[in-house]
Structure formats: structure tokens, C-alpha cells
Structure 1
Amino acid sequence: MEGWDKVVPQFLREMLSSLDPKARDAVEELRLREGFPLAVVQAGEEWTHPAWRGRPLTEEALRRVLETAGRGSVHTVLDQLRSGYVTAAGGVRVGICGEGATREGELLSFRRITSLALRVPHALPGVARPLLPQLAEGGELSNTLILSPPGLGKTTLLRDLIRCVSLGEGVRPRRVGVADERGELGAGALRRHLGPRTDVLENCPKAAALLMLLRGMAPQVLAVDEITAPEDLRAIQEAAGCGVTLLATAHGGSWEELRLRPLYRELLDQGIFRTFVVLSLAQGKRVYTVRKEGMP
């Protein structure tokens, strides 16, 4: 369970020791809710180990988890909060729910914490390899947008596509610039999984990072996780006119669903992305469907 040790306290590590090593390695998320036992998510399914039943978590326990993730300070984590989650050491995403403290409509912190979701990034070398013949033409990767609902592995797939391009595995080797705003693609030890020709700009807003990489690092491929704002779209548009290949992700269950949202409809109408990979779950297994522009 690479990545957990630095962000969870001892009591949680002891609980996770109830799982056999194979099961621990397969854990994608930890779900902690005040008044309920610990739950884990594997292959999209949430469940609780029998050893954890009858051991409801307290708010104090949830705060201890945040304190560990914040390296000794709950306030360090809460002060970073802008979008309902923060990123801890090693790229672990910590989602937070509870009673918010706001000022003039802006979330400042939490008075009370009732739920945490800890998602550990996984490097799965080879997961993108079977898709490359459909994503590349003449050895060159085309502009590709990866779509999936939250939690199905679009970031993991993007990470391995970056690795393939950087190494030249299945495609021509290229320099890759990664705009890693939240430190989830290449934070800490994850950087070594992105290949030798990859440059990562961490903890910088996506739009600014894309343009800084473009102007300063001469990438041949630009990668960014989760296009979510108009300024991200503007940066994508500028990069598209500079001759680089684009790899990106977005929340969405299908190409048709994406078109219902104004930001993405504009992106699709401009034809910047020609290839789409849609992730879904069938009988507990992830399914990757490739769609080319113009395909029904």
C-alpha cells in the first residue's frame, strides 16, 4: 500500500493490517464516516471488513487522520481547502465533508468533520498499452480526452499514457510536460513512473502551468488532469495552436453527456480532441471504450 504510511495515523494502519497483502494493494480508497466503521473501495465497490464492524469512528479519529495528512496540523489541511478536497503527501487525495464555515459565500474551513475519503494514486504500468494502437496513427499519439465518472481510474490511465509516450512504448518517444495542479499525477515517488522525458510542474494552477510548460520546457506533448474551468479551456486552445499533442481528462460518463455541459461543448465543437477514451465499470471490471471523432 505504497502511499498510505505518510498520510494515515497508527490506529488506521493497524486496522488495515486485517487485510491480506494482496487485498491491501488493491485498495483504491478509504472511507471514514463519523459513527460508522471504516470502509474500503476496491474495483468501485465499497465494503467493510468483519474485524472493523462494531468499531464506529469518532470525529476525533477523523481529525487525527487530517492531522497526519497535514503533517501535524489539521489547520494546515483545512486552510488549503477550496474544492472539497486537498492533496496530501504522495498525491493522496483527501475529500472532506462536514459542517462548513463560510464567509460571504466562500468556504473557509470546517467546524465539524463527518466524512473523509482518502484516494491513493496508483501507478499501473501497462494499463494503457492495449489502447495505444487505437490512439496513435503512424506512431504518433493523437489529441486524446479521457472521460469517466469519479473514481474509475482516468488519472491512472493518463499517468500510464504519459509513461508510454515518455519511454516510447508503443509510440514514438516524446518530451512530455505535465501540469499537475494538485500533485496527483507525479507527486513524490509517482514521478519516477512518468518516464525519463517527462517534466512536471506541481502545485500551480492548470491554466498557468500549461502555458509555462509550453513556453519554458518545449514539450512535444502536454498532459493535464481534469479540465474544469474556462481558463483551462483557454490554455488548451492556445496550446493546440502551437503544434503539441494534448492528453487530458474530464468528468463524464459518455461523449454525449459531455456535450450537455457548456464548457465541454465548446471544447468539442472546436475539434481540438479527435480521440476519446470512455471508462466504465462492468461486473466489477473497468472497460475502456475508444471513440474517434465522427463515430456514432
Structure 2
Amino acid sequence: MDGSGNINFLKKTSSDHLPRKEILDALPLHLRELIQGLPSSLWNSMEEIRLRTNQPLLIHSLNKDIFVYSNGGIGSEISKAYVVTKLDLEKTFQLVTDYSVYALEEDIKKGFITIRGGHRVGISGRTVMNGSAIKTIKDISGLNIRISRQKIGISDAYMEHIVTSNNIFRNTLIVSPPQCGKTTLLRDMVRNLSNGMVKKGFQGFKVGVVDERSEICGTYQGIPQNDIGIRTDILDACPKAEGIMMLIRSMSPQIIATDEIGKLDDVLAIEEALNAGVKVLTTVHGHSLDEVSKRPNLRKMMEENIFERIIILSNQPRVGTIQSILDGKTKVPLLQTYRS
């Protein structure tokens, strides 16, 4: 808990990984020199590095944009900011693709590349179409380096709410506004479910992860860069609906975990999983349970009380606050740490 009594699982821990080398290796020498000397406190809270052609070099941290100055300093004065050039974008793109654009064509056309360490580089530019499908992205005009950090142990205190004393997992939904830590929490729950927790009295489960955006496991060249447990099988960069059915047919999972459901196909696949006796751990974007329950594709699922536990995340009073854990059937809070 923080000083106000609120539970905030995104607070820094002694095990936090500062991914300087992995990020710096993705930048050309000039940008590397500007960024490598940034304060450790900023490195620890850094979420994104934004490169846009002919625009200021930006660091996004703690819901704020910070300009990187031409002299290597940082601040809010745009007149001092280093202006990213087209050559900067081209060199950075070469580095993040390891000079092998063709080999990463499938990733590029989805709009992102995963680099060593599990960090994801978003891409914007001119799309090249093949009929109605995107073939690739050329004339790169923007890159967004999204920094991945694993927070080992952040879900420990909550596992007793989602796993019963006789080793039964309760279907769980995490509801969260964007950038409030839902994937971070999901990832650590997967790790705990897969490994088991002796202190909590439950054994490990076979967990199948459908990682459509490569954010949960951070898979790089087939190897997850995050610790997601010893009994976890991964389908990386696979659409959720297809991946759920593939895992059920091939890997006999006890639990399927995925991120950001919303499409009708996602909902139908989850229902198929439940009908097959497989439990589900997933997340959805939303500021409240009421908002989520009104969405057409999710309404039926919420009315049928498919999820036995609902975890509500919030950015109030700060990002990463667990607002409450609800009983999925009664919607009664089992744990409530913050009232808006």
C-alpha cells in the first residue's frame, strides 16, 4: 500500500529492470548519445520514446510528455527540443528490424515489431495495400518504442481471490482504462498460475496464452522475454479467437489467458472455451464495469455472469491502483481500496 492506504502495484520494486542497453541498441548513435545520459529516475518510469519526422524527440513518463533537448537535457521547453530527422527514423528502423525488413514483413504489416527484451516498437507511415489487406508499411514517419517491464510479484496478494482453497481457478476479468497496468497484472497472474504458489496452497495450472499483440510474453525470435511460468504455452501474434480454439485442440490448457477482448469473435471463442471446460483469464478496456456491461458484444457475457471475479483498475489517485475486486455474480466488493 502507499501512504494513503491505496494498493498500487505499479510502484517501483527492487527487482525492477532498467532496460537501457536493449533500448539504446535500437537507436542510432546520435540519438543514443542524447538518451543514454537521462536520469535513472526517468529511465525507471519511462513508458515510451516517440520519434516523429521533423517533430520533437519525446519521452512519455507518468502521463507526461518530456522533451529531450539537443544538448541531452530534458524539460518542457519545445524550443530546446531535438528535432527528429527523416534519417533518424530510417536508421532507427534499420536497427529495430536488424537490417532485415523482409524477414519481419508479417510483423510490420501489423504495425509493430518486438525487439530483444520484449519491448514493442510501433510503426506509422504509408501503408501498401494488397487488395483490402495491408501488405506492408513504407516511408516510415513515426516510431513509438514502448518499454516493457515485468513486475514480478505484483499479483501475489490477490491470487487468493481468484484461486480457491481446493485449487480451482475462478474465471477472471480485469477491467482497466488504457495504460493503467492491466497487462502487467495479467502477466504476473499468468506466471503465478503457471508456477503455482506453495504459500497460497495451490498447484500450478497448464496455461495457454494467446498473445495477439506480443505484449504479455514479449516473445522475441520465439523466446518469451518475460517470465510467464513453467506450464505456459504461447501463441504469439495470433488473433485471439483463432488462437483460443487452436490451444484447446492442441495443448489441453486448464486456463486460457488473453488481453483486450471486445470483438464478437473473441466472445464466441471464450464461450467455446468455457463449454470445453477451460477457464478464462482476460482483460477489457473500460473505466467502469457499467461501461463494459453496456457494450453489445459483451452484454450477454456480463448478464450471464461468466466471470466469477472482476478486478477494476484505476488511474485514481494514481496509475496502477486496484480500485476493487468484485464477486462476479453479486458484484459485491470482496476487496475495495479506493472510492472515486
TM-score range, shorter chain: 0.7 to 0.9
TM-score under structure 1 length normalisation: 0.86
- 1:73 is displaced (CA, Å) by 4.4
Out of 40, 47, 64, the residue aligned to residue 28 of structure 1 is 47
Whether 2:93 is the aligned partner of 1:66: answer: yes
Determine the structure 2 residue equivalent to 1:182.
213
1:236-255 → structure 2 map (5 Å cutoff): 236-255=270-289
Out of 257, 265, 270, the residue aligned to residue 299 of structure 2 is 265
Out of 188, 207, 216, the residue aligned to residue 250 of structure 2 is 216
- 1:5 is displaced (CA, Å) by 4.6
After superposition, the Cα gap between the structure-2 partners of 1:45 and 1:143, relative to the gap in structure 1 and judged at 3 Å, is farther
Q: Which of 152-161 and 174-183 deviates more?
A: 174-183
The percent of aligned pairs where both chains have the same amino acid is: 31
Kindly indicate whether the alpha-carbon contact (under 8 Å) linking 1:85 and 1:95 is maintained by their aligned counterparts in 2.
yes
Per-residue CA deviation, residues 54-99 of structure 1 (Å, 9 max, x unaligned), is 3111233123222222221456667644554444444322223345
Partners of 2:55 and 2:252 lie apart in 1 by: 50
Which has the higher Rg, Structure 1 or Structure 2?
2
SS state at 2:46 partner: coil
Kindly indicate whether the alpha-carbon contact (under 8 Å) linking 1:121 and 1:156 is maintained by their aligned counterparts in 2.
no
Whether 2:289 is the aligned partner of 1:234: answer: no
Determine the structure 1 residue equivalent to 2:173.
145
TM-score under structure 2 length normalisation: 0.76
Partners of 1:236 and 1:120 lie apart in 2 by: 29
Aligned-partner residue type, residue 252 of structure 1: G
After superposition, the Cα gap between the structure-2 partners of 1:223 and 1:58, relative to the gap in structure 1 and judged at 3 Å, is same
After superposition, the Cα gap between the structure-2 partners of 1:113 and 1:203, relative to the gap in structure 1 and judged at 3 Å, is closer
1:92-171 → structure 2 map (5 Å cutoff): 92-101=119-128, 106-110=133-137, 112-138=139-165, 139-169=167-197, 170=200
1:37-48 → structure 2 map (5 Å cutoff): 37-48=56-67
SS state at 2:175 partner: strand
**Which segments of 5 or more consecutive residues in structure 1 lack a partner in the other structure?**
none
- 1:177 is displaced (CA, Å) by 1.3
Aligned-partner residue type, residue 161 of structure 1: M
- 1:193 is displaced (CA, Å) by 1.0
Aligned-partner residue type, residue 257 of structure 2: A
Whether 2:333 is the aligned partner of 1:291: answer: no
Partners of 1:83 and 1:151 lie apart in 2 by: 20
Out of 14, 26, 42, the residue aligned to residue 33 of structure 2 is 14
Determine the structure 2 residue equivalent to 1:276.
310
SS state at 1:193 partner: coil
Per-residue CA deviation, residues 111-135 of structure 1 (Å, 9 max, x unaligned), is 5444322212221011112222333
After superposition, the Cα gap between the structure-2 partners of 1:22 and 1:285, relative to the gap in structure 1 and judged at 3 Å, is same
Kindly indicate whether the alpha-carbon contact (under 8 Å) linking 2:180 and 2:314 is maintained by their aligned counterparts in 1.
yes
Partners of 2:151 and 2:125 lie apart in 1 by: 33
- 1:269 is displaced (CA, Å) by 2.9
Kindly indicate whether the alpha-carbon contact (under 8 Å) linking 1:164 and 1:171 is maintained by their aligned counterparts in 2.
no
Per-residue CA deviation, residues 208-248 of structure 1 (Å, 9 max, x unaligned), is 22222222222211111222432222221111112222111
Partners of 2:276 and 2:134 lie apart in 1 by: 38
Aligned-partner residue type, residue 31 of structure 1: R
Give 1 or 2: higher helix fraction.
Answer: 1
SS state at 1:134 partner: helix
Equivalenced residue count is 296
**Which segments of 5 or more consecutive residues in structure 2 lack a partner in the other structure?**
1-17, 75-79, 333-340
- 1:203 is displaced (CA, Å) by 3.1
Aligned-partner residue type, residue 14 of structure 1: E
Aligned-partner residue type, residue 273 of structure 2: A
Kindly indicate whether the alpha-carbon contact (under 8 Å) linking 2:170 and 2:308 is maintained by their aligned counterparts in 1.
yes
Aligned-partner residue type, residue 44 of structure 1: N
Aligned-partner residue type, residue 242 of structure 2: A
Partners of 2:209 and 2:295 lie apart in 1 by: 25
Determine the structure 1 residue equivalent to 2:229.
195
SS state at 1:19 partner: coil
After superposition, the Cα gap between the structure-2 partners of 1:238 and 1:259, relative to the gap in structure 1 and judged at 3 Å, is same
SS state at 2:315 partner: strand
